Amino acid sequence: MSLLDYLLPYDFSPLTILSYMLVMGFYGVGLIRMPEQDRPGSLRIFAFTLGVLICYAVMQTRFDYYAQYMFFVHRGQHLILHHIGPILIALSNPLPVMRFWFAKISPGWRHTLRPLGWVYNVLQQPFIALFLFVGLIYFWLWPSIHFDAMLSRDLYWVMNWSMLLDGLLFWWLIFDPRPPAITSSLGYGRRMLVLAAAGVLQMFLGAWIVFSRDMVYDVYEVCGRAWPLDPEVDQLLGGMLTYIPPAMMSILGILLMLRRAMHQDGKYTNQSKQLEETAS
């Protein structure tokens, strides 16, 4: 197989390619056109591009072939779509680019798009966001549903896209750069609680897969593996990928939130005192 075969999609999806092109196109054009002082630094641009690229790579290259026929590669794919990719994108803080494009939307359109904002606000309620984030992992790993998702091409695409979109929503809620003291973003304490809960719940599932004696996901058995790997090793590796890295990412997220909270401690109190004074 040539290098090109590894880079070309295994299961070509025009909609997926179009979506990625639009995201990168809007980001790039926004960067060039926006005023110099708002433009994110090169590290942030790099983080955003890397996040988008790795998500694209696991969906539209040969990687997807291995993800379809190996359980542990599939777990790696979801680790990128639901965790690492969205984390990079959220940490890169693309807010200035989004603000730039939002300012270009005409007031009429903004009015029509308002329901979208309401849906967003409901989805970003901490409890709902946590329920969706962990619930989707449990849902797609429910053995009978997982079996169907790996057999049906449509379900497979729904699964991967739902993981990516939910990952973006969740990690944006967690890493929202706007300080909660002066904006409507979620408070740091709550962010840490949500992260801890998500970590624990994912560890339960991961541990269950790792310590299962029986084959939980036999669809890979039935439909053939990409190469002859021992089924138990495949399940063990996949379980570990569900168990360890997500838990580590929850802890890293909590540490990052602690750091931010400590940095901002006392920073906005003067402002709020002033506000109180002017109000009284």
Nearer to another protein (CB atom), residue 84 or residue 150: 150
Answer for the pair 24, 52: CB distance below 8 angstroms, yes or no.
Answer: yes
Identify the residue among 122, 158, 182, 251 touching another protein (CB under 8 A): 122
Encoded one letter per residue, x for contact with another protein by CB under 8 A and - for no contact, window 79-118 reads ----------------------------------------
- Locate 80 and state its tokens: 């990128």
| Min dist. Cβ of residue 113 to another protein (A) | 20
Contact 174, 191 (CB under 8 A): yes
From 48, 56, 63, 69, residue interacting with another protein (rule: CB under 8 A): 69
Q: Is 6 in the site for another protein (CB under 8 A)?
A: no
Determine the interface stretch with another protein among 14-22, 96-104, 123-131, 163-171 (rule: CB under 8 A): 123-131
Query: With CB under 8 A, what is the number of residues at the site for another protein?
Result: 30
Q: Determine how many CB atoms are found less than 10 A away from the CB of residue 35.
A: 8
211: contact with another protein by CB under 8 A = no
Contacts of 81 (CB under 8 A, 6+ apart): 55, 58, 59, 160, 163, 164, 167
Question: What's the maximum distance between 2 C-alpha atoms anywhere in the chain?
Answer: 74
Enumerate helices (H) and strands (E) in the chain, giving the number of each: 16, 0
Measured N-to-C along each axis, helices 188-210 and 231-264 cross at an angle, to the nearest 10 degrees, of 170
Tokens representing 77 are 């794919």
Least distance in angstroms from the C-beta of 72 to another protein: 16
Residue 143 near another protein by CB under 8 A: no
> CB neighbours of 97 closer than 8 A, spacing ≥ 6?
26, 27, 30, 31, 34, 40
Q: Which residues make Cβ contacts (< 8 Å) with residue 273, sequence separation at least 6?
A: none
Q: How far is the C-alpha of 198 from the C-alpha of 214, rounded, in Å?
A: 26
Length of the chain: 280
* Nearest to another protein of 10, 161 (CB atom): 10
CB of 9 to another protein, least distance (A): 12
Instruction: Say if CB 237 and CB 170 are below 8 A apart.
Output: no
Segment interacting with another protein (CB under 8 A) among 61-69, 209-217, 233-241, 251-259: 61-69
Query: Under the criterion CB under 8 A, does residue 163 sit at the interface with another protein?
Result: no
Q: Which stretch binds another protein (CB under 8 A): 29-37, 193-201, 222-230, 264-272?
A: 222-230
Binding segment for another protein (CB under 8 A), chosen from 81-89, 121-129, 192-200, 234-242, is: 121-129
Nearer to another protein, 26 or 65 (CB): 65
Contact 10, 68 (CB under 8 A): yes
Instruction: Please give the residue ranges that form the binding site for another protein (CB under 8 A).
Output: 11, 65, 68-69, 122, 125, 127-128, 131, 135, 139, 142, 144-145, 147-148, 150-153, 155, 218, 221-228
